[in-house]
């Protein structure tokens, strides 16, 4: 559009009449509008794909659930020499820490390949779309901001799983429970459905809530809820928590799981073999050190004369129980890891919470022996533990030790059995295929480890071990090999031996170490007089291409003296087939 005037500026002439000339270039205007619309579409697509993508990565402070594929993928990379994949000896992992590990993968050739690519595809957001150079500055900034925005204010997802199990002769999983009849084992078909919601208004805070239903609770050690009415199934709250980050400090409050040292759910010190715990956790991480401390409520125990062999006429007494724990891990470099920690399980007839034990900077052994606490120390089960792990080439070696109780005085050693547990392990990469490795480990749990004279003090949660899945009076030697096909299919097999004595973590009355020094390992009982021995074999494949997950596994056990009574050797077989679909889960 243009405007101009005409005429002479003389005193004897009338002023010139203004005129307006309008020009319109239709093709140019349409082209301009199309370019603007195209860029706006790019911005919208970027925002939608990042914020509401069907499988977009979860909030950075979300914790990965037990059995999440990322644990197996990170462990596979760690075993072939990818040092950044060793995030921590303590689980669960935050999504944030997985992303940080992936960002370091380019530092090491061992961190390449399809397994690393699968992790990156799931957890790393796509880069901002490339835009033409002539895009307006403000529009380009909006597109990049939308594409890199990591804040999701609301997230809804879920997971559906169907598991089929076939048993031949009887049940032997979980190992701590020993061999049982088939009708006490895992049902032939179990369905599990979970719905999870997450909300956040900041990258420093996330709130997650989960509900799930399961068709059968039989032989599932993770269940804490009573069966629903007259059915065999349950409806319960799963992982439900508030996670927050304040600088280097992480805070987590709610229902979740914990496993310190060990692998996956398993640990001799603090495992996730049982139900989820309601707890408060505080964590601090530096480049060379990590500290974690928890306060958790565990199930109450009611002592009765009938179940616990108390003096006849003793009234039923309910004990409130709390678990406290803290651990320090020092990592001077990527090749060495040192951990030391302790837990204490306290039981009280009153409310039970003990502020002295809640102090994460106070050693429990000092608090327990405070002279002002006379009369309470007998109701506390203190466990100390430590571990070391070192790199050797592309593999690693390590050892872990749990001290439930050890007798120093010679007179005490004549009366009371030591309560120790220890584990030796090693792994090495194999230069064939993808992420191929072999590993070996030996674990021994002394006969009375985790046990006490009164069941209130036994190291258990809902009759399930807080320590090793082997339970007391057991050992296991295991050799494992695995390889990957692409980044989502793991093929693995193992062989090993397993011995188990007659003690059980859930037995009542409990049988503690007092008066049991000198008994041969593994100890037996009058009702279980024989040592059970077994040769174990396992082969299977896991498809971990999130969101579709699947497992097929064959487990064999040649067991002599099954259930700790005199029996000839017999073959026990378990076949497991499962499939899951996880939509925005976790």
Q: Is the pLDDT of residue 311 over 60?
A: yes
Q: Is residue 462 part of a domain?
A: no
Beta bridge pairs of residue 277: 256
Nearest CA to 85 out of 96, 95, 97, 74 is that of 74
Q: Is the pLDDT of residue 351 over 90?
A: no
Q: Is the pLDDT of residue 354 over 50?
A: yes
Lowest mean pLDDT among 86-100, 210-224, 397-411, 465-479: 397-411
Joined tokens for residue 199 = 């909300």
Joined tokens for residue 312 = 């006849």
Q: Which helix (H) or strand (E) holds 478?
A: strand 474-485
Mean pLDDT, residues 524-546 taken together: 96
Say what the alpha-carbon torsion angle 111, 117, 121, 125 is, to the nearest 10 degrees: 50
- pLDDT tens for 264-300 read 999 999 999 999 999 999 999 998 999 999 999 999 9
- Rounded to whole angstroms, how far apart are CA atoms 543 and 116? 15
pLDDT at 52: 39
Q: Is residue 225 part of a domain?
A: no
Q: Is residue 484 part of a domain?
A: no
Mean pLDDT, residues 88-116 taken together: 95
Mean pLDDT, residues 77-89 taken together: 95
Lowest mean pLDDT among 8-22, 134-148, 227-241, 473-487: 8-22
pLDDT at 548: 95
Of how many residues is the chain composed?
586
For tokens 């109701």, what's the residue?
379
Mean pLDDT, residues 419-426 taken together: 97
Pairing status of strand 205-214 against strand 240-246: antiparallel
- Rounded to whole angstroms, how far apart are CA atoms 166 and 87? 36
Give the helix, strand, coil percentages of the chain, each rounded to 5: 20, 40, 40
- Percent of the chain surpassing pLDDT 70: 84
- pLDDT tens for 374-414 read 555 457 899 999 999 999 989 999 999 999 998 888 787 88
Q: Is residue 76 part of a domain?
A: yes
- Rounded to whole angstroms, how far apart are CA atoms 75 and 542? 14
- pLDDT tens for 514-527 read 888 889 999 999 99
Query: Confidence class of residue 149 from pLDDT cuts 50, 70 and 90?
Result: low
Predicted model pTM: 0.86
Mean pLDDT, residues 103-131 taken together: 87
- Give the DSSP letter string of 358-397: H-TTS-HHHHHT-GGGTTTGGGEEEEEEEEEEEEETTEEE
- pLDDT tens for 6-21 read 443 434 343 343 443 4
Q: Kindly state the DSSP code that residue 330 receives in the 8-state scheme.
A: E
Q: Is residue 167 part of a domain?
A: no
Q: Is the pLDDT of residue 507 over 60?
A: yes
- Rounded to whole angstroms, how far apart are CA atoms 125 and 60? 12
Split into its structural domains, the chain has a count of: 1
- Give the DSSP letter string of 227-241: P-TTSS-EEEE-SEE
Query: Confidence class of residue 228 from pLDDT cuts 50, 70 and 90?
Result: confident
Q: Is residue 114 part of a domain?
A: yes
Q: Kindly state the DSSP code that residue 64 receives in the 8-state scheme.
A: P
Q: Does the bond joining 498 to the residue before it have cis omega, within 30 degrees of 0?
A: no
Q: Is the pLDDT of residue 46 over 90?
A: no
Q: Kindly state the DSSP code that residue 455 receives in the 8-state scheme.
A: G
Q: Is the pLDDT of residue 54 over 60?
A: no
Pairing status of strand 249-256 against strand 277-285: antiparallel
Q: Which domain holds residue 59?
A: 33-147
3-state secondary structure of 40: helix
Q: Is residue 80 part of a domain?
A: yes
Q: Is residue 55 part of a domain?
A: yes
Beta strands in 15-132 (DSSP E): 19-21, 90-91
Please provide the distance, in angstroms rounded to a whole number, between the alpha carbons at the two ends of the chain: 58
Beta strands in 169-288 (DSSP E): 189-202, 205-214, 234-237, 240-246, 249-256, 259-260, 277-285
Mean pLDDT, residues 347-366 taken together: 86
- Rounded to whole angstroms, how far apart are CA atoms 350 and 270? 25
Beta bridge pairs of residue 572: 557
Return left, alpha or beta for 529; rule: phi > 0 is left, psi -120 to 50 is alpha, else beta: alpha
Joined tokens for residue 431 = 């230069």
């Amino acid at each position: 559009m243009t405007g101009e005037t005409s005429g002479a500026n003389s005193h004897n002439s009338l002023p010139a009449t203004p005129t307006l000339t309008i020009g319109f270039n239709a093709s140019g205007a349409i082209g301009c509008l199309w370019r603007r619309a195209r860029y706006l579409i790019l911005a919208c697509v970027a925002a939608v794909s990042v914020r509401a993508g069907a499988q977009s990565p979860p909030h950075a402070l979300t914790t990965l659930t037990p059995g999440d594929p990322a644990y197996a993928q990170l462990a596979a990379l760690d075993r072939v020499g990818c040092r950044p994949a060793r995030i921590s000896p303590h689980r669960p992992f935050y999504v944030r820490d997985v992303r940080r590990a992936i960002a370091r993968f380019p530092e090491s050739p061992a961190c390449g390949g399809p397994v690393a690519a699968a992790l990156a595809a799931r957890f790393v957001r796509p880069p901002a779309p490339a835009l033409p150079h002539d895009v307006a500055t403000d529009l380009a900034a909006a597109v990049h901001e939308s594409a890199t925005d990591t804040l999701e204010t609301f997230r809804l997802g879920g997971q559906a799983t169907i598991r089929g199990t076939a048993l031949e002769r009887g049940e032997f999983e979980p190992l701590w429970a020993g061999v049982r009849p088939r009708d006490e084992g895992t049902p032939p078909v179990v369905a599990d459905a979970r719905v999870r919601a997450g909300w956040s208004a900041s990258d420093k805070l996330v709130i997650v809530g989960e509900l799930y239903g399961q068709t059968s609770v039989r032989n599932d050690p993770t269940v804490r809820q009573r069966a629903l009415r007259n059915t065999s199934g349950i409806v319960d709250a799963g992982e439900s928590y508030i996670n927050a980050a304040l600088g280097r400090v992480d805070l987590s409050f709610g229902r979740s799981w914990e496993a310190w040292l060990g692998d996956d759910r398993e640990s001799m010190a603090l495992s996730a073999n049982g139900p989820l715990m309601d707890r408060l956790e505080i964590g601090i991480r530096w480049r060379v050190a990590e500290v974690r401390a928890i306060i958790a409520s565990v199930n109450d125990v009611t002592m009765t004369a009938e179940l616990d062999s108390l003096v006849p006429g003793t009234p039923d007494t309910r004990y409130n129980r709390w678990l406290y724990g803290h651990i320090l891990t020092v990592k001077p470099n990527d090749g060495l890891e040192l951990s030391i920690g302790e837990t204490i399980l306290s039981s009280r007839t009153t409310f039970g919470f003990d502020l002295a034990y809640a102090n994460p900077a106070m050693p429990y052994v000092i608090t327990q022996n405070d002279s002002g606490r006379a009369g309470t120390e007998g109701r506390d089960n203190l466990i100390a533990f430590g571990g070391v792990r070192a790199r050797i080439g592309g593999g690693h070696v390590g050892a872990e030790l749990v001290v439930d109780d050890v007798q120093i005085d010679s007179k005490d050693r004549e009366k009371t059995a030591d309560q120790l547990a220890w584990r030796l392990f090693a792994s090495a990469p194999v230069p064939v295929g993808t992420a191929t490795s072999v590993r070996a480990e030996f674990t021994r749990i002394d006969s009375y480890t985790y046990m006490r004279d009164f069941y209130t003090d036994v190291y258990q949660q809902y009759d399930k071990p807080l320590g090793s899945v082997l339970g007391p009076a057991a050992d296991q030697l295991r050799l494992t090999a695995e390889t990957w096909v692409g980044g989502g299919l793991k093929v693995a097999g193992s062989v090993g031996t397993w011995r188990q004595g007659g003690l059980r973590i859930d037995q009542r009355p409990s049988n503690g170490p007092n008066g049991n020094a000198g008994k041969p390992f593994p100890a037996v009982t009058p009702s279980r007089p024989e040592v059970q021995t077994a040769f174990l074999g396992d082969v299977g494949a896991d498809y971990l291409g999130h969101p579709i997950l699947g497992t097929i596994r064959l487990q064999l056990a040649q067991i002599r003296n099954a259930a700790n009574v005199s029996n000839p050797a017999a073959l026990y077989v378990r076949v497991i087939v499962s499939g899951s679909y996880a939509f925005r889960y976790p």
